[in-house]
């Protein structure tokens, strides 16, 4: 038994914000932290305007290198709850790292821009949440600006992703003329007051329905009518449906003005699931009170150029972590010393002395650790399933510019593969010397090329392949059929998965018409999925 780990786990909420670039993720992160007491920040929260309180200097390091690749966690206390907000990198650096973060959370907040609704990157991330059974709460942001109709936004959730909205609040005043929200559980109106530059938590005024009617006549009436319509159509809020991932609680707000952020935090505390026992490779649950265990969901190399250090981020799954503890790496059976564990980097560098299930720890000098590794203390040994590989969308043949560096190239490629920087695909036809790099986001190629050059002294040439449609080939005897097409190819990933790549859906469709027996299937994730 491990001291109080179960109780500590129960007061933790570990989640990520999923959104399309520009929906306001950084702004929301800052707004959440503003409402809370920031305990630690391990990473890349980008400061906005005057609110640079939780900014780290990773950003500068990344800018100096011309690439942005971080993903870490911000930890803060909200009342008695400890909140771990894991960062999902957005923008051009959208990559497998973004997806892997979702293997380390217990819930997600889907952040939508009120004027845009569901956008492509949000949809991709949502697919992963659905696939992994992660409950999703929705925050509709930027309500202070002209936007879509709230009923229309809720409708979009049902129609496009089959995720009915269960609003917890309803906006009073249309998008662009936002006064506050109707709290659908208390029936009262919560009115917000603007503060200079959104620099402090927005003061709230609570109005009874009568007061709201008096002071916001038409806007209040409209909010009541619309929310009643929603309720009549959808029925009462169901906690279970949120947990099952078959419906999403919805809140409205404006992160920039801190409007609605308190409601979101309260909803997370009240409804988002705390850490639960994780299943090991034999599908046995590792109880929260069992001795310390954790799995690595991200490895970051070269954060500090002077020291060429490598930091592995691990999510604690059970027990109490104490700095200095000797743990075992389940993959190698070797001990790993945690003397230098840190949770905070950049300006706020400090060491972590203890951590509990749901928390994220950064293991410094972790060159022996790989994405997906399990660490545990004592006996018996435990090993969690490896992290899934995600459906790649970009492909490029890689070769060293200088053939004399073929050996270093091979070594570098193995290293990148083991860290999960890019996926490596091969085929007999292409030969071993020219692997194909596959990635979820094109930025992964840049990172790979940069690292091969920087760490292995190999300058690489990347020839981008024209494939846009990817399937898993489930019957390898069909390989020949696919390869008979000039617009398709089969490549095998290091984990043994055969990927059938097609120029586009048309090329796949044409082949399927000729060969209806063709055994291919969609893939979001493989491995433990």
In the complex, the residues that contact ligand G4P under the rule CB under 6 A are 19, 21-27, 48-49, 90, 141-142, 144-145, 254-256
The nearest distance, CB 92 to ligand G4P, in angstroms, is: 11
Show the tokens assigned to 362: 């950064």
The CA-atom distances, in angstroms, between 77 and each of 40, 84, 320 are 10, 9, 18
Residue 113: CB minimum distance to ligand G4P, A: 8
Contact 17, 84 (CB under 8 A): no
| Cβ 42 to ligand G4P shortest distance, Å | 18
Q: Which is nearer to ligand G4P, 261 or 501 (CB)?
A: 261
The reply, when asked if residue 412 is annotated as ligand binding, is no
Q: Which is nearer to ligand G4P, 144 or 289 (CB)?
A: 144
User: Facing residues of 108 across strands?
Assistant: 16, 136
**522 known member of a binding site:** no
Give the nearer residue to ligand G4P in terms of CB position, either 8 or 144. Answer: 144
Which residue, 254 or 268, has its beta carbon nearer to ligand G4P?
254
Q: Is 88 annotated as a binding residue?
A: yes
The secondary structure of 198-227 as a DSSP string is G-SPPPEEEE-HHHHHHHSHHHHHHHHHHH
End-to-end CA distance of the chain: 30
- What count of other Cβ atoms lies within 10 Å of the Cβ of residue 334? 9
DSSP state of 412: H
What is the nearest approach in angstroms of ligand G4P to the Cβ of residue 157?
Answer: 19
Q: Are 278 and 317 in contact (CB under 8 A)?
A: yes
Alpha helix (H) ranges present in 239-366?
239-244, 261-271
Which parts of 314-442 fold into alpha helices (H)? Answer: 406-419
State in angstroms the smallest separation of the CB of 26 from ligand G4P. 3
| 50/504 with CB nearer ligand G4P | 50
Nearest residue to 170 via CA among 196, 188, 157: 188
Minimum Å distance from CB 446 to ligand G4P? 19
What minimum distance in Å lies between the beta carbon of 293 and ligand G4P? Answer: 33
Residue 500 to residue 482: CA distance in whole angstroms: 7
In contact, 451 and 412? CB cutoff 8 Å: yes
Place of tokens 């009240």: 270
Q: Is 7 annotated as a binding residue?
A: no
Closer to ligand G4P by CB, 44 or 520: give it: 44
The distance of closest approach from Cβ of residue 11 to ligand G4P in the complex, given in angstroms and rounded to an integer, is 28
C-alpha to C-alpha distance for 387 and 376, rounded to whole angstroms:
17
Shorter beta-carbon distance to ligand G4P: residue 2 or 26: 26
Q: Is there a binding annotation on residue 167? A: no
Nearer CB in complex with ligand G4P: 93/106: 93
Query: CA 512, 513, 518 angle in degrees (round to 5)?
Result: 30
Strands 12-19 and 107-113, bridge-based pairing: parallel
Q: What is the DSSP letter of 92?
A: G
Residues at the annotated binding site for GTP?
Answer: 87-91
Residues at the annotated binding site?
Answer: 87-91
């Amino acid at each position: 038994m491990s001291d109080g780990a179960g109780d500590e786990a129960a007061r933790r909420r570990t989640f990520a914000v999923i959104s399309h670039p520009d929906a306001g993720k950084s702004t929301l992160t800052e707004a959440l932290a503003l409402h809370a007491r920031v305990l630690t920040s391990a990473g890349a929260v980008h400061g906005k305007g005057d609110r640079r309180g939780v900014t780290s200097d990773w950003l500068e390091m990344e800018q100096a290198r011309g690439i942005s690749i971080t993903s870490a966690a911000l930890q803060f206390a909200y009342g008695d709850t400890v909140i771990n907000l894991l960062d999902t990198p957005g923008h051009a650096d959208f990559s497998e790292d973004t997806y892997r973060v979702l293997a380390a959370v217990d819930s997600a907040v889907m952040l939508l821009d009120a004027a845009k609704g569901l956008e492509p990157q949000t949809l991709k991330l949502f697919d992963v949440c659905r696939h992994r059974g992660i409950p999703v709460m929705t925050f509709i942001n930027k309500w202070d600006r002209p936007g879509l109709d709230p009923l229309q936004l809720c409708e979009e959730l049902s129609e496009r992703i089959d995720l009915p909205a269960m609003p917890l609040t309803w906006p009073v005043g249309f998008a662009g003329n936002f006064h506050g929200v109707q709290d659908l559980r208390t029936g009262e109106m919560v009115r917000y007051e603007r503060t200079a530059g959104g620099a402090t938590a927005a003061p709230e005024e609570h109005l009874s329905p009568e007061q709201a009617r008096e002071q916001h006549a038409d806007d209040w009436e409209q909010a009541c009518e619309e929310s009643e319509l929603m309720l009549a159509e959808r029925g009462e809020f169901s906690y279970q449906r949120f947990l099952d991932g078959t419906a999403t609680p919805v809140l409205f707000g404006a992160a920039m003005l801190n409007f609605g952020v308190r409601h979101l935090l309260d909803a997370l505390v009240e409804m988002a699931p705390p850490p639960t026992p994780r299943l090991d490779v034999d599908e046995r649950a590792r109880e929260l009170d069992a001795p310390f265990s954790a799995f690595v969901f991200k490895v970051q190399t070269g954060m500090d150029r002077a020291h060429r250090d490598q930091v592995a981020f691990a999510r604690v799954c059970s027990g109490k972590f104490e700095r200095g503890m000797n743990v075992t790496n389940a993959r190698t059976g070797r001990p790993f010393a945690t003397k230098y564990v840190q949770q905070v980097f950049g300006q706020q560098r400090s060491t972590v002395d203890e951590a509990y299930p749901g928390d994220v720890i950064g293991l410094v000098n972790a060159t022996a650790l790989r994405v997906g590794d399990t660490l545990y203390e004592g006996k018996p040994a435990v090993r969690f399933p490896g992290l899934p590989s995600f459906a790649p969308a970009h492909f490029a043949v890689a070769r060293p510019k200088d053939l004399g560096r073929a050996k270093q190239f091979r070594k570098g490629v193995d290293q990148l593969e083991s860290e999960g920087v890019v996926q490596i695909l091969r085929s007999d036809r292409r030969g071993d010397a020219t692997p194909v790099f596959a990635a979820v986001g094109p930025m992964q190629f840049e990172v790979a090329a940069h690292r091969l050059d920087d760490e292995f002294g190999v300058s690489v040439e990347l020839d981008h392949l024209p494939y846009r449609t990817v399937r898993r080939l489930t019957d390898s005897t069909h390989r020949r059929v696919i390869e008979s097409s000039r617009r398709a190819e089969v490549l095998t990933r290091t984990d043994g998965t055969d990927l059938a790549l097609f120029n586009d859906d048309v090329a796949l469709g044409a082949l399927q018409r000729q060969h209806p027996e063709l055994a291919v299937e969609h893939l979001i994730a493989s491995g433990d999925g």
